[in-house]
Amino acid sequence: SLLVEEQDKLVGIITDRDLRNRVLALGLPASTQVNHVMTRQPHSIDFHAYLYEAVQQMSQHNVHHLPVMAQGICCGMLSATDIIRSQQDHPVYLIGEIHRQPDVDGLERCSQQIATLAITLNKQQVPAHEAGHIITTITDALTQRLIYLAQQKLGEAPCIFSWLAFGSQARMDQSLNADQDNALLLEKEPTGAVAEYFSELAEFVCKGLAQCGVTLCPGNIMATNPELRLSLKGWSGRFARWIATPTPEALLKASIFFDLRVIDGSKGLFNALQQDILQRTAKAPLFLYHLAQAALQRTAPLGFFKNFILEADGKHKKGLDLKKRGISLLTDLVRVYALSAGITEVNTRRRLQQLAEKGVIESKDSLNINDAFDLLAQLRWEKHQHDLQQGHDVTNLLDPMDVSGLARHQLKDSFAVINDAQSSLKHRFCRDM
């Protein structure tokens, strides 16, 4: 495109479309003057306008170029291509790109945009719970594409399967430093050729996720672990044992498995497993007792006089672990209520909503827990953003002096909500045992 000016004033624009339609199509000679074929008084946009306003104008007037004006003088040009390029760190664009990649190296390049996307989401003031949902959706897309690429390499699966996610990916509240928690649910028993195929598929997908920045699980809760590649009968039997003969030690390790979601493969197979689990948990007071006890093992870092109790990490930095001593405590106690009520939702906020609707939890208590959960998630999200922009390792440890006095006050209120919610959980599930 070319801008046409007269005495520093924009009077027209000529684009490749003008050349095609107004010159070539009409057979005009090259000696034709520009002012005979240009678009006069073109639509323009102010330098300080927002990008969405430019998109709106282009759509409304069906134009692909917008001169950019500053105090009546043209200072630049915005094209449709510029707008498309600016959207490359938008989650919809990124997920589309992920599903077009022909190999793991391409997926790795896509995953390198996640940090930029996170910073953009923060600048746009996207709430932490929505950002967590977006990050998780991208991890889902990477997983789905890796499963597709694995099958391109290994051939069609020998039986129906479901790729399962546990923990934060299942709950759709992943953070930037989340690791892998996954497994395979199979239609057939994992023996012979079936076992060999899914072992190779799991190896391909888990290694691919690690290459894309979703780190391997230090506790080996991954589909590469043969103990986590089971048939429907095998998984049902394992959950049945956890529920029928619970022990505190076993449930401390197993509680993560009770937040599960299907990422790829058969939803029917997954639904059969989930229904089997929920039918058992709703009628198992001893299991709920031990699960509640496991949820009460840790407390919020708030002292008797409402002072913060700081703890050190491996690098001897002191602070509040927003995940282990905050978010996870709420996740754990909400899980107990959800399993007792047979709720299929695994997202903590949606579980709380359904628990209130069913009258399992008082509406005001549900709102208080939700608000505390949102505040802790928001502070952790902002802490991760700060770490990212400073080039530091992303951690959950927050120095309370790094936030405002108001935020510290709200943080203390959130920890008090956790203490009250844990007391209610203990009263509800542990008093008769």
CATH number where 6 lies: 3.10.580.10
Q: Are residues 259 and 317 in the same domain?
A: no
**Buried-exposed string 417-432: b where 16+ CB fall within 10 A, e elsewhere:** bbeebbebbeebbeee
The verdict on 118 and 201 lying in the same domain is yes
Long-range Cβ contact pairs of 201-204 (< 8 A, separation 24 or more): 201/147, 201/150, 201/151, 201/154, 201/157, 202/229, 204/146, 204/149, 204/150, 204/153, 204/154
Q: Are 201 and 292 part of one and the same domain?
A: no
Radius of gyration of the chain (CA): 28
Q: How far apart are CA 166 and CA 168, in angstroms?
A: 7
Whether residue 254 is found in the same domain as residue 307: no
How many structural domains compose the chain? 3
Residues 22-42: what's their mean pLDDT? 91
Asked if residue 304 has pLDDT above 90, the reply is no
Q: d(Cα 87, Cα 93) in Å, to the nearest integer?
A: 7
DSSP codes, 237-304: HHHHHHHHS--HHHHHHHGGGGSEEEEEE-HHHHHHHHHHHHHHHTT-HHHHHHHHHHHTSS--SB-T
Tell me the C-alpha distance between 29 and 19, whole Å. 11
CA end-to-end distance (rounded Å), the chain: 78
Q: What is the pLDDT of residue 80?
A: 83
**In a domain? residue 30:** yes
- 199 domain-assigned: yes
Among 86, 114, 142, the domain-final residue is 86
In a domain, 274, yes or no: no
List the single range of 184-193, 221-230, 312-321 with lowest mean pLDDT. 312-321
Judge whether 244 lies within some domain.
no
Residue 316, pLDDT score? 62
Distance (Å, whole) CA 169 – CA 182: 9
Distance CA 258, CA 277 (A): 8
Domain boundary among 64, 86, 108: 86
Q: Per-residue pLDDT averaged across 159-169, rounded?
A: 97
Q: Is the pLDDT of residue 433 over 60?
A: no
Is 363 a member of any domain?
A: yes
Report if residue 153 sits inside a domain: yes
Please check whether residues 39 and 91 belong to one and the same domain. no
Check whether residue 145 and residue 170 sit in a common domain.
Answer: yes
Task: Express as a percent the part of the chain with pLDDT over 70.
Answer: 98
Q: What is the DSSP string of 227-246?
A: GGEEEHHHHHHHHHHHHHS-
Are 169 and 139 in contact by the 8 Å Cβ rule? The answer is yes
pLDDT higher for 97 or 162?
162
Whether residues 378 and 317 fall in one domain: yes
Q: What is the number of other CB atoms lying within 10 angstroms of the CB of residue 111?
A: 20
Same domain, 108 and 19: no
Residue 393 pLDDT grade (very low, low, confident, very high; cuts 50, 70, 90): confident
Same domain, 107 and 53: no
315: domain CATH number is 1.20.120
Average pLDDT over residues 22-50: 91
Does any domain span residue 245? no
Q: Is 272 inside a domain boundary?
A: no
Q: Are 133 and 58 in a shared domain?
A: no
Domain carrying residue 57:
2-86
| Shared domain check, 56 and 106 | no
The two tokens of residue 137 are 């959706």
302: Cβ–Cβ under 8 A, 6 or more apart, which residues? 308, 309, 412, 415, 416, 419
The string over 238-265, giving b where at least 16 C-beta atoms fall within 10 Å of a residue's C-beta and e elsewhere, is ebeebbeebeeeebeebbbbbbbbbbbb
Last residue of a domain, one of 86, 110, 139: 86
> How does pLDDT run across 140-160, given as a tens digit for each residue?
999 999 999 999 999 999 999
pLDDT at 381 over 90: yes
Cα gap 379→322, rounded to integer Å: 8
Residues 75 and 96 both lie in one domain: no
C-alpha–C-alpha distance, residues 294 and 361, integer Å: 20
Task: Enter the DSSP assignment of 315.
Answer: T
Six token digits for residue 226: 């043969």
Helix 91-98 to helix 114-123 angle, to the nearest 10 degrees? Answer: 160
Q: What is the CATH classification number for the domain harbouring 234?
A: 3.30.460.10
